[in-house]
Amino acid sequence: MNPKMFLTWGGWVLVLVAILGAIGVIGPTADQSLFGESWYFDAAENWAHLIIGLVGLAAAMWTDAGMQRTLTWIVGIVALIIGLWGWFLSGDAPNFYGANLENPLDNILHLVVGIWALWAVMGKEE
Protein backbone atom coordinates (compact mmCIF):
# COMPACT_ATOMS: atom_id res chain seq x y z
CA MET A 1 0.00 0.00 0.00
CA ASN A 2 1.30 3.43 -0.91
CA PRO A 3 -0.27 6.92 -0.97
CA LYS A 4 -1.52 6.58 -4.56
CA MET A 5 -3.28 3.30 -3.76
CA PHE A 6 -4.72 4.79 -0.56
CA LEU A 7 -6.08 7.81 -2.43
CA THR A 8 -7.55 5.59 -5.15
CA TRP A 9 -9.16 2.99 -2.89
CA GLY A 10 -10.12 5.52 -0.23
CA GLY A 11 -11.54 7.86 -2.86
CA TRP A 12 -13.78 5.18 -4.34
CA VAL A 13 -14.92 4.01 -0.91
CA LEU A 14 -15.81 7.57 0.13
CA VAL A 15 -17.73 8.24 -3.09
CA LEU A 16 -19.65 4.97 -2.61
CA VAL A 17 -20.40 5.77 1.05
CA ALA A 18 -21.62 9.25 0.05
CA ILE A 19 -23.95 7.82 -2.59
CA LEU A 20 -25.29 5.10 -0.27
CA GLY A 21 -25.81 7.68 2.46
CA ALA A 22 -27.64 10.04 0.13
CA ILE A 23 -30.00 7.47 -1.40
CA GLY A 24 -31.22 6.04 1.89
CA VAL A 25 -29.15 2.89 2.32
CA ILE A 26 -26.94 4.16 5.17
CA GLY A 27 -28.54 7.54 5.80
CA PRO A 28 -29.19 10.43 5.68
CA THR A 29 -31.28 9.71 8.78
CA ALA A 30 -31.16 6.86 11.28
CA ASP A 31 -34.60 5.70 10.11
CA GLN A 32 -33.31 5.28 6.55
CA SER A 33 -30.08 3.50 7.46
CA LEU A 34 -29.79 -0.28 7.35
CA PHE A 35 -27.97 0.06 10.66
CA GLY A 36 -30.55 2.36 12.29
CA GLU A 37 -29.32 4.49 15.18
CA SER A 38 -26.14 2.43 15.35
CA TRP A 39 -24.63 3.97 12.24
CA TYR A 40 -25.81 6.40 9.62
CA PHE A 41 -24.33 9.18 7.55
CA ASP A 42 -26.21 12.47 7.57
CA ALA A 43 -26.25 14.97 4.71
CA ALA A 44 -23.20 16.89 5.96
CA GLU A 45 -21.17 13.69 6.20
CA ASN A 46 -22.34 12.58 2.75
CA TRP A 47 -21.21 15.85 1.20
CA ALA A 48 -17.88 15.70 3.03
CA HIS A 49 -17.33 12.09 1.92
CA LEU A 50 -18.21 12.91 -1.69
CA ILE A 51 -15.90 15.93 -1.90
CA ILE A 52 -13.00 14.25 -0.12
CA GLY A 53 -13.46 11.10 -2.22
CA LEU A 54 -13.40 13.05 -5.48
CA VAL A 55 -10.35 15.03 -4.36
CA GLY A 56 -8.61 11.76 -3.46
CA LEU A 57 -9.37 10.24 -6.86
CA ALA A 58 -8.22 13.38 -8.66
CA ALA A 59 -5.02 13.48 -6.62
CA ALA A 60 -4.32 9.82 -7.36
CA MET A 61 -4.65 10.46 -11.09
CA TRP A 62 -3.20 13.93 -11.61
CA THR A 63 -0.63 14.73 -8.94
CA ASP A 64 2.91 13.56 -8.39
CA ALA A 65 4.03 11.14 -5.67
CA GLY A 66 5.15 13.96 -3.36
CA MET A 67 1.74 15.62 -3.39
CA GLN A 68 0.02 12.25 -2.95
CA ARG A 69 2.17 11.57 0.10
CA THR A 70 1.40 15.01 1.56
CA LEU A 71 -2.35 14.62 1.02
CA THR A 72 -2.29 11.15 2.55
CA TRP A 73 -0.46 12.53 5.62
CA ILE A 74 -3.09 15.24 5.94
CA VAL A 75 -5.96 12.75 5.62
CA GLY A 76 -4.33 10.49 8.21
CA ILE A 77 -3.77 13.23 10.77
CA VAL A 78 -7.22 14.80 10.27
CA ALA A 79 -8.97 11.41 10.47
CA LEU A 80 -7.15 10.60 13.71
CA ILE A 81 -8.07 13.99 15.18
CA ILE A 82 -11.73 13.58 14.21
CA GLY A 83 -11.75 10.01 15.54
CA LEU A 84 -10.32 11.09 18.89
CA TRP A 85 -12.37 14.28 19.09
CA GLY A 86 -15.58 12.31 18.51
CA TRP A 87 -15.18 10.53 21.85
CA PHE A 88 -15.58 13.89 23.61
CA LEU A 89 -18.65 15.11 21.71
CA SER A 90 -22.10 14.38 23.02
CA GLY A 91 -25.73 14.81 22.09
CA ASP A 92 -27.95 13.80 19.21
CA ALA A 93 -27.82 17.14 17.39
CA PRO A 94 -25.13 17.81 14.79
CA ASN A 95 -22.02 18.45 16.83
CA PHE A 96 -19.12 18.76 14.40
CA TYR A 97 -19.64 21.53 11.84
CA GLY A 98 -23.10 20.21 10.98
CA ALA A 99 -22.25 16.49 11.10
CA ASN A 100 -23.15 13.90 13.72
CA LEU A 101 -20.00 12.29 15.09
CA GLU A 102 -21.17 11.11 18.49
CA ASN A 103 -21.49 7.47 17.49
CA PRO A 104 -18.65 5.16 18.59
CA LEU A 105 -18.67 3.49 15.15
CA ASP A 106 -17.96 6.88 13.54
CA ASN A 107 -15.01 7.35 15.86
CA ILE A 108 -13.65 3.86 15.22
CA LEU A 109 -14.04 4.32 11.45
CA HIS A 110 -12.12 7.61 11.51
CA LEU A 111 -9.36 6.10 13.64
CA VAL A 112 -9.03 3.12 11.26
CA VAL A 113 -8.88 5.44 8.23
CA GLY A 114 -6.26 7.57 9.96
CA ILE A 115 -4.10 4.55 10.75
CA TRP A 116 -4.59 3.20 7.22
CA ALA A 117 -3.50 6.53 5.71
CA LEU A 118 -0.40 6.81 7.88
CA TRP A 119 0.47 3.18 7.11
CA ALA A 120 0.14 3.97 3.39
CA VAL A 121 2.50 6.93 3.76
CA MET A 122 5.17 4.50 4.93
CA GLY A 123 4.65 2.35 1.81
CA LYS A 124 6.86 2.34 -1.26
CA GLU A 125 6.20 5.13 -3.77
CA GLU A 126 5.47 4.25 -7.37
pLDDT per residue as tens digits for the range 32-45? 988 888 888 888 88
Domain membership flag for residue 54: yes
Average pLDDT on 59-67 reads 97
**Structural domains in the chain (count):** 1
Domain membership flag for residue 32: yes
Q: What is the pTM of this model?
A: 0.86
The pLDDT of residue 12 is 98
The pLDDT of residue 64 is 97
Q: Distance (Å, rounded) from C-alpha 114 to C-alpha 110?
A: 6
Higher-confidence residue: 55 or 109? 55
Domain membership flag for residue 126: no
For residue 26, what are the domain limits? 3-121
Q: Tell me: pLDDT of 96 over 70.
A: no
Estimate to the nearest angstrom the gap between the alpha carbon of 81 and the chain centroid. Answer: 12
Three-state DSSP class for 96?
A: strand
